[in-house]
Amino acid sequence: MWPKKRPVDLATRWAQQEPFQGHGGGGSRLQWVEERIRFDKMEIGNWRQLLKKTKQNKNPSVNKGRQKHGEDTFNRAKLLNVGFLEALKEDATYDCFIFSDVDLVPMDDRNLYRCGDQPRHFAIAMDKFGFRLPYAGYFGGVSGLSKAQFLRINGFPNEYWGWGGEDDDIFNRISLTGMKISRPDIRIGRYRMIKHDRDKHNEPNPQRFTKIQNTKLTMKRDGIGSVRYQVLEVSRQPLFTNITVDIGRPPSWPPRG
């Protein structure tokens, strides 16, 4: 993020938000934590090297929103809202927010992590999609919004529990507020995904398609202005700040017909 007085395209300071789920279920908690820390350090180290090569911000703020461990369902978009709010508590002058999945690594150092006049979608060509944009409205993986753009769409939805749907809802919010998506050249916006097992309690949300169709009706009441959470622990590491939060539980899903 960068100070408000400077033009957006000359940004020098920003904060990156990365959501992930705490340990839930069987297995060794210590082993899981050690594996996650190695995974995080590898991913963060990769993009910090990229920033150094491209002379981008040398000291960006990295907040990793971690949902509390247990049996709760994952909620990516709500964790990103939490990261936005917690970053501003750290420094109210932040004005560019990069939202990134922890398992994606940029492959081209020309893919500059900056905000512009329109919301930016960086990860447009992932290896898991054959280095192609899967569909025109895709806004997943890694994206960037200025503070003003984020507030204009009322942040991200809080009601997408489980896997899928929140990225399309965010795309709808951007379109409904009259903004357009900015993207790099497909040869530049390439990412590789670090292979890993899917986290438990991140099953597909059976309500996601209905919710996506109703973004226009829900975006004013569901977003950054309505997010509720409790910070349980803040751990400041050399490369990032890990914030463990309780974001509640989803409502009961009706059985599928």
Domain ranges of the chain: 8-246
**Catalytic residue list contains 166:** yes
Q: Is 30 a residue whose pLDDT tops 50?
A: no
Any idea which of 66-70, 110-114, 170-174 has the lowest mean pLDDT? 66-70
Catalytic residue among 18, 86, 167, 222: 167
Residue 198 is a catalytic residue: yes
Q: Per-residue confidence at 36, pLDDT binned at 50, 70, 90?
A: very low
Determine which one of 110, 196, 221, 249 is catalytic.
Answer: 196
Q: Which pTM does this prediction carry?
A: 0.79
Tell me which of 4-8, 132-136, 157-161, 179-183 is least confident.
Answer: 4-8
From the list 166, 168, 169, 222, the catalytic residue is 166
**Catalytic, out of 32, 48, 69, 103:** 103
168 among known catalytic residues:
no
Residue 32: active-site member: no
pLDDT of residue 154: 99
What pLDDT is stored for residue 237 in this prediction?
Answer: 79
Whole-number pLDDT of residue 139: 97
Mean pLDDT of 217-223: 97
Q: Is the distance from CB of 189 to CB of 42 less than 8 angstroms?
A: no
Catalytic pick among 127, 163, 179, 203: 163
**Pick the catalytic residue: 32, 109, 193, 199?**
193
- Locus of tokens 């789920």: 21
Is 103 part of the annotated catalytic residue set? yes
Residues facing residue 204 across a β-bridge = 163
- 204's CB contacts (< 8 A; 6+ apart) are 162, 163, 164
User: Is the confidence at residue 225, as pLDDT, over 50?
Assistant: yes
> How far is it, in rounded angstroms, from Cα 102 to Cα 235?
17
**Any catalytic annotation for residue 193?**
yes
Is the predicted pLDDT of residue 24 greater than 50, yes or no? no
**Architecture of the domain defined by 8-246:** Alpha-Beta Complex (3.90)
Question: Residue 159: pLDDT above 90?
Answer: yes
Query: What are the C-alpha distances in Å from 183 to residues 42, 77, 170, 187, 253?
Result: 26, 21, 15, 11, 35
Residue 62 has pLDDT above 80, yes or no: no
Confidence of residue 72 (pLDDT cuts 50, 70, 90): confident
Is the pLDDT score of 52 beyond 90?
no
Q: How would residue 110 be classed by pLDDT, with cut points 50, 70 and 90?
A: very high
Q: Are 71 and 24 in contact (CB under 8 A)?
A: yes
